[in-house]
């Protein structure tokens, strides 16, 4: 049995972080019902932003956040539509949303409005900037809340360069796992207390937590952003090889490994060099950039494959800085089911799986998404609506059935 089998989740989310949380819960066995407005989740057309097709038959830009769900369309501005939604909540274990609180209050779907009606319900909300403060009602996106205000852009840049251009949703997907973990903790606590809870994760908070080392060390004078030519430990750095590929060398015990590194890269003449071989002394002299320059020149004479083989055979942790196309042929990826293949009209396509593994969940579900409103009628039938009532609600615009992307 999958760990969340029997858990029902109502998903009122858009875009990436919050819907991905529900996708993961579905991968772990939960019955996830995604509720869309008549206009649909704008995430359905984000393939254009990602440079991918977006059609009902093939829409991996939407699948990666919305697999393993059933899809219903409800007009929450319609009284009967809201009635259907509340019937869903009455049977749900978890309600997940990323709608801003002020909008939830207007609809009567905020935590304070729901906790008395549904005392066992876990209310889970993905926020931009948190529940308090001057930005609490500001629209939140990965790029602004997580990457920019959360410090990632300004901290991880190589000093003097422009901020990195991240893959879309880099912070969103990290936040999704944070919110999923909070939901699971709340479900566990409900087993003991019988009471639901409110679980929130903000993009802003999550980013700062992920930068904990910088947040803690900066107050002691550890300055960010850093230059790769000025790092404290030159053997813990990134280097470009002869074939214009980047590699990451992680040899933080500089004094121990300095002589080995210099010998392997063809500079035995620098073994036991009085200015370079001791990390503290090198930093006192400000010779860091000289060592990096020496390593840059030497490493530029090796191909990436040659350097990886050389360092790994000599027990120096080193890895290629992979690009996505490199991952598709990585034996380690497929041995550990880090990706799976989905059958699409254009052929088999790769998609990442959730990183948490369970011994008892050896075959997780990877059900691709369906058209908007595909499951509206069947879900309403489960809630006790008859065929005539379902037809009436559709005719009145309270709900909508299967609707193709335009």
Q: Which of 142, 172, 257, 375 is catalytic?
A: 172
pLDDT-wise least confident of 186-200, 201-215, 322-336, 351-365? 351-365
Going by the DSSP 8-state scheme, the letter that residue 142 receives in this structure is: I
State the CATH class of domain 8-211+356-400.
alpha beta
Taken in order 241, 246, 247, 249, the sign of the CA dihedral is: positive
Predicted pLDDT at 1: 79
* Percent above pLDDT 70 for the chain: 100
CATH 3.30.1540.10 in the chain, residue ranges: 246-320
Please answer whether residues 171 and 142 qualify as being in contact, where contact means their C-beta atoms are separated by less than 8 angstroms. yes
Average pLDDT over residues 317-328: 97
Sequence-separated (6 or more) residues with CB below 8 Å from residue 351: 60, 63, 64, 67, 339, 340, 341, 342, 366
**HEC readout, 227-272:** CCCCCCCCCEEEEECCCCCEEEEECCCHHHHHHHHHHHCCCHHHCC
Q: Do 145 and 203 form a contact (C-beta atoms < 8 A)?
A: yes
Question: 348 - beta bridge partners?
Answer: 343
> What is d(CA 393, CA 406) in angstroms, rounded to the nearest whole number?
23
Distance CA 240, CA 159 (A): 17
Mean of the per-residue pLDDT values of the chain: 96
Please check whether residue 154 is in contact with residue 207, taking contact to mean a CB–CB distance below 8 angstroms.
no
Choosing among 3.30.1540.10, 3.40.50.2300, 3.30.360.10, 3.40.50.720, the CATH entry for 246-320 is 3.30.1540.10
Which residue in 121, 107, 105 sits closest to 7, CA to CA? Answer: 121
Look at residue 240 in the predicted model and tell me its pLDDT: 98
**Per-residue pLDDT band at 150 (split at 50, 70, 90):** very high
Work out the end-to-end distance of the chain between its first and last CA atoms, rounded to an integer number of angstroms. Answer: 39
Annotation marks residue 172 as catalytic = yes
Helix (H) or strand (E) run with residue 324 in it: helix 324-327
Q: Is the pLDDT of residue 402 over 90?
A: yes
pLDDT score recorded for residue 204: 98
């Amino acid at each position: 049995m999958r760990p969340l089998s029997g858990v029902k989740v109502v998903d009122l989310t858009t875009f990436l972080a919050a819907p991905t949380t529900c996708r993961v819960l579905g991968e772990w066995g939960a019955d996830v019902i995604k509720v869309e407005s008549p206009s649909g989740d704008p995430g359905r057309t984000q393939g254009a932003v990602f440079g991918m097709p977006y059609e009902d038959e093939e829409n991996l830009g939407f699948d990666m956040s919305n697999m393993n769900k059933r899809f219903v369309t409800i007009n929450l501005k319609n009284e009967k539509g809201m009635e259907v939604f509340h019937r869903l909540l009455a049977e749900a274990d978890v309600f997940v949303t990323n709608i801003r609180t002020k909008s939830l209050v207007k609809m009567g779907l905020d935590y304070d409005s729901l906790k008395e009606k549904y005392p066992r319900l876990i209310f889970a909300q993905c926020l931009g900037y948190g529940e308090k403060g001057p930005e609490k009602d500001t629209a939140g996106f990965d790029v602004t809340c997580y990457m920019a205000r959360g410090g990632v852009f300004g901290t991880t840049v190589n000093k003097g360069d422009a901020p990195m251009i991240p893959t879309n949703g880099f912070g969103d997907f990290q936040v999704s796992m944070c919110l999923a973990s909070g939901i699971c903790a709340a479900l566990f606590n409900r087993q003991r207390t019988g009471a639901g809870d409110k679980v929130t994760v903000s993009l802003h908070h999550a980013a700062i937590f992920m930068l904990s080392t910088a947040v803690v060390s900066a107050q002691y004078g550890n300055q960010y952003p850093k230059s790769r030519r000025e790092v404290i430990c030159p053997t813990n750095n990134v280097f470009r090889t002869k074939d214009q590929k980047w590699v990451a060398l992680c040899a933080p015990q500089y004094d121990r490994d300095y002589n080995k590194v210099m010998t392997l890269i063809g500079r035995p003449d620098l073994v036991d060099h009085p200015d370079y071989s001791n990390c503290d002394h090198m930093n006192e002299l400000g010779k860091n950039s000289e060592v990096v320059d020496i390593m840059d020149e030497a490493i530029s004479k090796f191909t990436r494959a040659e350097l990886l083989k050389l360092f790994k055979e000599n027990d120096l942790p080193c890895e290629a800085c992979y690009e996505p196309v490199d991952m598709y042929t990585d034996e380690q990826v497929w041995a550990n089911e880090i990706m799976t293949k989905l059958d699409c009209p254009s052929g088999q396509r790769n998609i990442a799986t959730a990183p948490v593994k369970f011994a008892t969940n050896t075959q997780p579900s990877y059900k691709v998404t369906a058209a908007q409103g595909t499951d509206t009628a069947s879900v309403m039938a489960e809630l006790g609506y008859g065929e005539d009532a379902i037809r009436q609600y559709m005719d009145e615009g309270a709900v909508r059935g299967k609707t193709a992307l335009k």
